A and B are shown apart, each in its own frame.
Chain A
Amino acid sequence: MATLSERILGAPAGTCVDRAVDRAYVHDGTGVLTLGTFRTIGRPLAAPERLSVLFDHIVPANTSVTADLQAELRRFAAEQGIHFTDVGEGICHQLMSEGTVLPGEVVIGADSHTCTLGAFGAFATGVGATDMAAIWATGETWLRVPETIRLELSGRLHGGAEAKDLALHYVSRLGMDGATYRALEFTGEGAATISMAGRLTCSNLAIETGAKAGLFYSDETTRCYLAEFGLEAEAQCPEEGCYVADLGIDLGAVEPVVAVPDRVDTIRPVRELEATPVDQVFVGTCTNGRYEDLARLASLLKGHRVRVRTIVVPASRRTLLEAARTGVVTTLVEAGCTIGPPGCGPCLGTHLGVIGEGEVCLSTANRNFRNRMGVGGEIYLGSVGTAAATALAGEITSPEALP
């Protein structure tokens, strides 16, 4: 009887293991520090074929300093033959989800939201620049095999609730440090009803409980998704009696919620906050910038006009292309949305939609920390449906109110 983390890492919880890394990636933000540290170690790359450098945080560059830093990293990737994606390709986690990461792999990213890729039944976790530099130099890292909390999902989402609402719901149940040093596993008949996009959203927020990883078991949904990329995936099955804690969630009871400033774990039903004015709506990020999200937004905005500035940033070029091909982009632009280049957008408060003092943003991202999107601004986190209803009303509005 073993958890998925124990099986992938090959040791019981509590053990420290040295483990070869199957995929390791950095973005333009953490890559610069990683490169500097790697050079001071003074060794060659141990396994360049497993590394990726994926530009997403400040794309295109906002200042000449950023441009210089990016140029150095771009040059290094080219010299070393490392897999590299430039400005406009998309968010690192999203790109790794588009036909790269497979069930059972060990995936390490120099970004806290690397846990997103647990959606495939991979052990995926974030590290800092020095850990990543050591991976560049040695091909492996050390990990303490985490204990696991099981989130047993039953029923089915309905009535305007999305996977994002489920994610905010479990974060609030566990708290911001409720799973520190531990992993989460999403199991049960309810997990099978959640799409790959929804699973990526759920795994994405695992870090907001302090968790090291957030894993779904590979199943038919995973297999079909990866088959579109020409990849095969083996099914994984949960075992009993290996969890340190259980949390049961009835998906049918999950309602549209928002996380209120400045904590991801403090949620309120959207209807209780109605009439709260907002200055900006932002739809995008590694949480909710996928094609399904943009298509849902377009379906709710079609034929209407937004009442506040609404910034939409596709998670990847593939997402943007699909949205262009299916008319989603046209619908969004006609509705008054502003489309940004694929990447992280204004999520981390550096460009493309930073908010001002006293301004309020309803965002589909994953963090509403104080000042994150701009000094003195406030962030409410919600689903794509809540973002759509809010954009149309100009104030926080539940998607349940939409026709």
Chain B
Amino acid sequence: MRLEGRAVLLPADVDTDQIIAGRYLRTKDSSVWAAHAFEDLDPSLAGRLAGAVLVAGPNFGCGSSREQAARALRDAGVVGVVAPSFARIFFRNAINLGLPIAEAELACEEGETVDLDLAAGTVRAGARPSVPCRPLSPRMQAILEAGGLVELLRGRA
């Protein structure tokens, strides 16, 4: 699995309340989550997520288990998320929803092209040398390749 996108930089410890605020969770219209992603952090960010690779600081996605956070990013067109570490529930949610995610220390500027090669386990920003990502387990790779856990389970039914 190989992906490319434009870097959007984010700080450390971005919690899921910041990704999608609690006041937007109860809705029958799931497009609301993508539209209001990161609203309290930077209201202009939601408009820049299509085609983006989020390059965040450590502990991305900490806090609440709300899966709407990973849904918001996927539905907004985020190509993938790269961070030195993730909160584990967010990490599982992203994989389960088919949102590519990679643990790596990536030096990167805002707007640079990020090339994420999950099969090779490397990520590269612009013309810089590529850096390794922590390998995904075969199980997580299988979920991502199927497009998510639901798709994997439906395939086995």
Please report A residues at the B interface, Cβ cutoff 8 Å.
Answer: 16, 29-30, 32-33, 37, 40-43, 58, 63, 65-66, 68-69, 110-112, 126-131, 133-134, 137-138, 142, 144, 176-177, 180-181, 210, 212, 263, 348-350, 367, 369-372, 375
Contact with A along B130-144 (1 / 0, CB 8 A): 000000010100000
CB contact between B22 and one of A33, A68, A180, A348 (< 8 Å): that residue: A348
List of A residues within 8 angstroms of B139 by Cβ: 16, 142
Closest 7 CB pairs of A and B: A177-B59, A128-B93, A128-B67, A130-B96, A112-B65, A129-B67, A348-B22
Complex formed: what's the CA distance from A137 to B97 in Å? 17
Complex formed: what's the CA distance from A128 to B150 in Å? 13
List of A residues within 8 angstroms of B23 by Cβ: 349-350
Complex formed: what's the CA distance from A58 to B25 in Å? 11
Task: Check B26 against A177 for contact (C-beta < 8 Å).
Answer: no
Q: Which chain A residue lies CB-closest to B152?
A: A134
Q: Which chain A residue lies CB-closest to B58?
A: A177
Stretch in contact with the other chain, from B82-90, B105-113, B117-125: B82-90
Q: A350 to nearest B CB, angstroms?
A: 6
Stretch in contact with the other chain, from B1-9, B13-21, B47-55: B13-21
List of A residues within 8 angstroms of B62 by Cβ: 176-177, 210
Q: Which chain B residue lies CB-closest to A66?
A: B26
Within 8 A of A (CB), among B138-157: 139, 148-150, 153-154, 157
Q: A3 to nearest B CB, angstroms?
A: 17
CB contact between B21 and one of A16, A180, A349, A367 (< 8 Å): that residue: A349
List of B residues within 8 angstroms of A137 by Cβ: 153
Please, could you name 8 A-B residue pairs with CB atoms under 8 Å apart, sorted by A? A112-B65, A127-B89, A128-B66, A128-B67, A176-B13, A176-B62, A348-B64, A369-B15
Q: B83 to nearest A CB, angstroms?
A: 10
List of B residues within 8 angstroms of A144 by Cβ: 137
Q: B58 to nearest A CB, angstroms?
A: 6
Complex formed: what's the CA distance from A3 to B75 in Å? 40
Given A41-B153, A137-B153, A138-B153: A263 touches B13 (CB 8 Å cut-off) = yes
Task: Check A65 against B27 for contact (C-beta < 8 Å).
Answer: yes
Task: Check A372 against B26 for contact (C-beta < 8 Å).
Answer: no
List of A residues within 8 angstroms of B25 by Cβ: 29, 350
Task: Check A29 against B66 for contact (C-beta < 8 Å).
Answer: yes
List of B residues within 8 angstroms of A372 by Cβ: 17, 22
Complex formed: what's the CA distance from A87 to B23 in Å? 19
Given contacts A29-B26, A110-B65, 16 further A-B contacts (CB under 8 A): A43-B153, A43-B157, A126-B65, A128-B65, A128-B89, A130-B93, A130-B97, A131-B96, A134-B150, A210-B62, A210-B87, A349-B21, A350-B25, A369-B63, A370-B17, A371-B40
Task: Check B28 against A69 for contact (C-beta < 8 Å).
Answer: yes
Task: Check A37 against B150 for contact (C-beta < 8 Å).
Answer: yes
Task: Check A128 against B40 for contact (C-beta < 8 Å).
Answer: no
Chain B CB within 10 A, most for which of A176, A369, A375:
A369
Task: Check A126 against B85 for contact (C-beta < 8 Å).
Answer: no
Task: Check B85 against A58 for contact (C-beta < 8 Å).
Answer: no
CB contact between B64 and one of A66, A112, A177, A180 (< 8 Å): that residue: A112
Task: Check A127 against B92 for contact (C-beta < 8 Å).
Answer: yes
List of A residues within 8 angstroms of B85 by Cβ: 177, 180
B76 within 8 Å of A (CB atoms): no
Complex formed: what's the CA distance from A349 to B23 in Å? 7
Complex formed: what's the CA distance from A375 to B17 in Å? 11
Task: Check B150 against A41 for contact (C-beta < 8 Å).
Answer: yes
Chain A CB within 10 A, most for which of B63, B65, B70, B149:
B65
List of A residues within 8 angstroms of B153 by Cβ: 41, 43, 134, 137-138
CB contact between B17 and one of A181, A212, A369 (< 8 Å): that residue: A369
List of B residues within 8 angstroms of A370 by Cβ: 17-18, 40
Q: B85 to nearest A CB, angstroms?
A: 6
Complex formed: what's the CA distance from A65 to B32 in Å? 14
Task: Check A128 against B157 for contact (C-beta < 8 Å).
Answer: no
List of B residues within 8 angstroms of A42 by Cβ: 154, 157
List of A residues within 8 angstroms of B22 by Cβ: 348-350, 372
Q: A145 to nearest B CB, angstroms?
A: 13
List of A residues within 8 angstroms of B86 by Cβ: 180
